[in-house]
Structure 1
Amino acid sequence: MNWLIRLVLSGFSLIIADWLLASISLRGFGTALIAAFILGLVNMIVRPILVFFTLPLTIVSLGLFLLVINALTYWFTSMLVPGFEITGFWGAFFGAIVTTIVSSMLNALITERK
């Protein structure tokens, strides 16, 4: 049940990113839920592979390259989900940042209530 709550919160954070950034477009809350689910899968499967292969670059950039990897996974998710569109790299970059911040804040609120 906890994963379902986190999925809804992630979908809500995608909608907030859509609302804040003109470069992100979501068709509706159903699309946001699907995108949140696919983003979770991409972060679970593809992101560790990207982190492994770009480890030297991540070390040299003192971890800042992880922001680029987050943007790539966010953009890749938009390619997989119809109705979730991102225009440009910077849209994915800032969208990933907004989604991460909002999702973390919402998850912290849920964790504090328990």
Structure 2
Amino acid sequence: MKHFLLTWLGTAVALIITAHIVNNFIANSFIVKNFAAALVATVVVGLVNAFIRPILGILAFPVTLITFGLFTFVLNALALWLASALTPANYFTINGFIPAFLGSIVLSIVSSIISYVLRVVE
């Protein structure tokens, strides 16, 4: 249970950091209202990744194979964009595919770093 809570909190922090980084490149394109909104958005992102992302991965397998796996970046962006669409608009918003694409890359990097730090601390 402790690991689950730390992962949830770490991913919420990663989402806030990602919003700040993406907004430095494209203003007001990746919005997370506050930490509570980040916690809600993290749950939605997790649910999308658990239930919808595998279906997208299976359907897009031929394209992913042809592009040597690079289409996975597009699938990650679509999953993140869908999560923002399913989250209440005043909590978590991504305005367009390019911010979702940049956000998915930055979120995976920041989440990996935070996960590594939490593993070392634990």
Measured against the shorter chain, the TM-score band is over 0.9
2:26 match: none
Distance 2:30 2:15 in 1: 9
1:9 match: 10
Distance 1:113 1:28 in 2: 25
User: TM-score by structure 2 length?
Assistant: 0.90
Write out aligned runs for 1:55-74 (5 A). 55-74=61-80
What is the alpha-carbon root mean square deviation over aligned residues? 0.8
2:59 match: 53
User: TM-score by structure 1 length?
Assistant: 0.96
1:101 match: 109
Write out aligned runs for 1:17-56 (5 A). 17-22=18-23, 23-56=29-62
Once the two structures are TM-superposed, the CA of residue 89 in structure 1 deviates from its matched residue by: 0.3
What are the ranges of 5 or more consecutive residues in structure 1 without an aligned counterpart? none
Identical aligned pairs, as a percentage? 38
Once the two structures are TM-superposed, the CA of residue 112 in structure 1 deviates from its matched residue by: 2.0
What are the ranges of 5 or more consecutive residues in structure 2 without an aligned counterpart? 24-28
Indicate conservation of the 8 Å contact 1:31/1:81, yes or no: no
Once the two structures are TM-superposed, the CA of residue 85 in structure 1 deviates from its matched residue by: 0.7
